Amino acid sequence: MLLALFYGILTFQRNTVWRNDITLFTDMERKAPNNLLATYTLGVLYGERNHFDIAESYYQKAINKAPDFWEAHYNLGNIYTRVGREVLAKREYEKVLELNPDFVNARNNLKIVLQHASGSALPTPKEIKKETVLTVPSKTQGLVKYSFGRISFEYPKGWSIKETEKGIVINDNGAGFTIEMTLEEKPDTVSASEYVSQQKENFGKLVNQGLAKIPNMDFAYVKVWDKKLQFFLFKKELVVKVLVYPSDSANMKEFDGILGSIKISN
């Protein structure tokens, strides 16, 4: 989840931000069609720019991929609330509370929708509790917690992990889906952007690249290669480098959860 994968180019002027954000995650979704967070992030990006019809289509697509993805249901409810489709908004907020009963924002927004349905004025965007942005649908069953040095994360039961001299390799035990993860230290004199620009790995054709928003991280960057996705996750001076392939695997849904669960201890 987002991911909170998610992604967004933040270092350019606003028009460039929009263009590159949409292009980056459209490319990512095309190269990794089972990447749930790429689809979800496109919903967030279009919704932030008031392109509600397009945002709705991406949230619906994310929900079709993962029906219990409560964050997508919640954001879709906010879209419906903003355009005055109270019946559909009510349905989405109720679904969120079914999946996540303790999520207060959904309860508050549902109250606003019901008040409007009874004759109150249409809520303003400021009254609608903010979308959840770039989060990852969480599962508590079927996951194994794992720690490697200062990295911790969760991965699916039945998958294998092998420790190497450089880091760890996670494999799905059958379909050839692989995640490589290494931990490095960034010099204090080098910024995160400079660190990424200094990386010389080549995994084929580089389709797109840009900043990312990843839960628990200070800064993140993603490169979309033709068959692979490469992430750089920064927490203070530490960097987790993640390479996942093939990017069109059905197991990209599982990778979303792994990525969103990564934590780096200080």
Question: Which one-letter DSSP state was computed for residue 131?
Answer: P
Helix, strand or coil, per DSSP, at residue 79? helix
Question: Which one-letter DSSP state was computed for residue 130?
Answer: P
Distance CA(17)–CA(52), nearest Å, equals 19
**203, exposed or middle or buried, with CB in 10 Å at 0-12, 13-18, 19+?**
middle
**Over the stretch 23-47, which tens digit does the pLDDT of each residue have?**
888 888 888 888 787 888 889 889 8
Digit-by-digit pLDDT tens for the chain (266 residues) are 333 333 332 222 223 333 457 888 888 888 888 878 788 888 988 988 889 999 999 999 989 888 888 888 999 999 999 888 999 999 999 999 998 898 888 898 898 888 876 555 555 555 555 554 444 444 444 788 999 889 999 999 889 999 998 899 999 988 789 999 999 999 999 999 999 999 999 999 998 888 877 778 898 899 999 899 999 999 999 999 999 999 988 888 888 888 888 999 87
Q: Tally the residues of the chain.
A: 266
Q: Where are the beta strands (DSSP E) in the chain?
A: 143-148, 151-156, 160-163, 167-171, 178-185, 206-212, 219-225, 229-235, 238-245, 263-264
User: Which among 42, 35, 36 is positioned nearest to 18, based on CA atoms?
Assistant: 42
Distance CA(85)–CA(89), nearest Å, equals 6
CATH of 143-264, one of 3.40.190.10, 3.40.50.720, 3.40.1000.10, 3.60.15.10: 3.40.1000.10
Residue boundaries of the structural domains of the chain:
14-117, 143-264
Superfamily of domain 14-117: Tetratricopeptide repeat domain (1.25.40.10)
